Amino acid sequence: MEFAAKILIISDSAAAGTRADLAGPLLRTRLVEAGFDVVEVTIVGDGVPSVESALRAMVQDFRGVVVTSGGTGFSPRDLTPEATLRVIDREAPGFSEAMRLVNPLGRLSRARAGTAGRSVIVNCPGSPKGAIECLESILDVLPHALELLQGEASPHPPETGGSTIISS
């Protein structure tokens, strides 16, 4: 099953056109390589209202993953996690924890992940290297998470103690 993906770049300077977004193209390439159909890339400025509004629009009637890049650090305008918490229905802390573990600087990340309707939202850092490292840390389980979120038949491997067709 192929899943759709959307990318939201959060950067005041990229939104203003004064700085090129370097993470978005790398995220797109990696998602496509992993079998995702990237159907949208959007750039917005930092801040809760802009990010919340963009995320709400992106998950409306969407089934797939929304990968954000930027706004997860300690700068005063880094408010992507706060905006994400306003949009998600349920947190997926395992994704955030896995992303923080890939690099010593991950300890500075305030990134969040969770579900919104039939979508998964994951916050990646704005640095190209950090964004790809974080995406890579969850890419192997993301399709399974999306299958479960859609209610699709998704057998659990016997070695994980699963024997049912759909997780309960």
Is residue 30, in this structure, part of any structural domain at all? Answer: yes
Instruction: In whole angstroms, give the CA distance from residue 89 to residue 59.
Output: 11
Q: Is residue 138 part of a domain?
A: yes
Classify residue 167: in a domain, yes or no. no
Q: Is the pLDDT of residue 168 over 50?
A: no
Q: Is residue 130 domain-resident?
A: yes
For the stretch 77-127, pLDDT in tens is: 999 999 999 999 999 999 999 999 999 999 999 999 999 999 999 999 999
Asked whether residue 48 is domain-assigned, the answer is: yes
Give the CATH number, domain containing residue 44.
3.40.980.10
SS (H, E, C) 95-117: HHHHHHCCCHHHHHCCCCEEEEC
Residue 168 is assigned to a structural domain of this protein: no
Query: What mean pLDDT, rounded, does the chain reach?
Result: 93
Question: 166 in a domain, yes or no?
Answer: no
Q: What percent of the chain has pLDDT over 70?
A: 90
Q: Supply the range of the domain harboring residue 141.
A: 4-160
**Is this prediction's pTM over 0.85?**
yes
Cβ atoms within 10 Å, residue 84: 28
Tokens of 127: 């640095």
Beta bridge partners of 120: 65, 115
Residue 57 domain-assigned (yes or no): yes
Our count of domains for the chain comes to: 1
